[in-house]
């Protein structure tokens, strides 16, 4: 996991350079002998984005191509380098940059990563982060078009803990300890009302069985959705199963109920393909890897559009 945060550090450092460049752009000495590039000349040098690609923490997780959601391996050859990317954090839009050709790297597990040109276009000078390091992700969308981006909003911690408490009580899981992973509020369906996404997980170290598995009793991970005056529903929850064929390896009875440790984070909410419906980009941290997913929320239900995993 240290390598992922190291890459994230360099992305943040890169974004800060964009912001400084944006602030200094209007104070540049016009008498400089460096050649001046007009907007028209810049446009002529741009590579037109053949695919709308999605990059989270530098990793290409897939995209939208020819009217369909596509896995990384289906679009990577379409990305030649020089394409335009719109850069975001979970809470704000930074600006546009140019991306380089994807390269294979093996940080947590093999994947295609895209680096960005620090000399690219300017970004927003208004950089404010509301998240902590654990839940923060940067992401970029490869597109030549403006996008409908919905910044995440954070209310006080008690507000989100109360939502999770109500859900656990409804399910009769009152013994589960609330350990808030993330709580955010955002308008998912353009009705000008905020939906609330809350994730929580708790695992007792004494219940570990090995290789990411825990005894199921009192150990859990959940991502739930709450809408004002409506029921609270589960969006994602940790894998739960019997030990079965794994019983010999884990040295437990075949009928032992097990849960696979995971933690859920909302990375961002944005209309990636400009169809008028916002997508939710999520990150799930599991034993030895990370799963990135793209969801769409409509009529009170979630549809998973794309999932990419890296790790062992």
Q: How many residues does the chain have?
A: 312
Mean of the pLDDT values across residues 6-20? Answer: 51
Average pLDDT along the chain? 82
Euclidean distance between CA atoms 183 and 2, whole angstroms: 24
**Minimal CA–CA distance to 25: which of 113, 128, 95?**
95
Euclidean distance between CA atoms 57 and 26, whole angstroms: 30
Query: Burial, 113: exposed, middle or buried (Cβ in 10 Å; 0-12, 13-18, 19+)?
Result: middle
Mean of the pLDDT values across residues 292-307? Answer: 90
For residue 59, pLDDT over 50 is answered with: yes
- Give every CB contact of residue 63 below 8 A, 6+ residues apart in sequence: 51, 52, 53, 54, 69, 70, 72, 75, 142, 272
**115-119, 178-182, 241-245, 288-292, range with the lowest pLDDT:** 115-119
């Amino acid at each position: 996991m240290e390598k992922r945060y190291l890459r994230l550090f360099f992305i943040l450092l890169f974004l800060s350079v964009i912001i400084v460049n944006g602030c200094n752009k209007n104070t540049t000495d016009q008498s400089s002998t460096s050649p001046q590039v007009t907007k028209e000349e810049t446009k002529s040098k741009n590579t037109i984005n053949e695919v709308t690609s999605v990059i989270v923490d530098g990793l290409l997780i897939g995209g939208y191509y020819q009217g369909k959601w596509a896995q990384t391996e289906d679009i990577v050859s379409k990305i030649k380098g020089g394409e335009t990317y719109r850069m975001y954090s979970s809470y704000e839009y930074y600006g546009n940059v140019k991306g380089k050709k994807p390269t294979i790297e093996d940080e947590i597990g093999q994947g295609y990563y895209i680096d960005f040109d620090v000399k690219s276009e300017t970004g927003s000078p208004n950089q404010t982060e509301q998240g902590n390091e654990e839940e923060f992700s940067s992401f970029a969308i490869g597109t030549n078009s403006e996008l409908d981006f919905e910044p995440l909003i954070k209310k006080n911690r008690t507000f989100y803990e109360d939502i999770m408490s109500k859900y656990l009580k409804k399910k009769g899981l009152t013994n589960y300890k609330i350990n808030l992973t993330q709580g955010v509020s955002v308008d998912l369906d353009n009705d000008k009302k905020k939906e609330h996404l809350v994730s929580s997980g708790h695992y007792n170290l004494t219940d570990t069985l090995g290789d990411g598995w825990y005894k199921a009793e009192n150990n859990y991970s959940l991502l739930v959705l709450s809408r004002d005056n409506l029921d609270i529903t589960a969006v994602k929850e940790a894998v739960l199963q019997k030990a079965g064929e794994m019983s010999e390896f884990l040295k437990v009875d075949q009928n032992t109920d097990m849960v696979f440790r995971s933690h859920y984070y909302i990375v961002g909410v944005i209309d990636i393909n400009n169809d008028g419906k916002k997508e939710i980009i999520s990150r799930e941290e599991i034993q030895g890897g990370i799963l990135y997913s793209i969801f769409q929320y409509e009529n009170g239900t979630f549809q998973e559009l794309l999932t990419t995993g890296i790790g062992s």
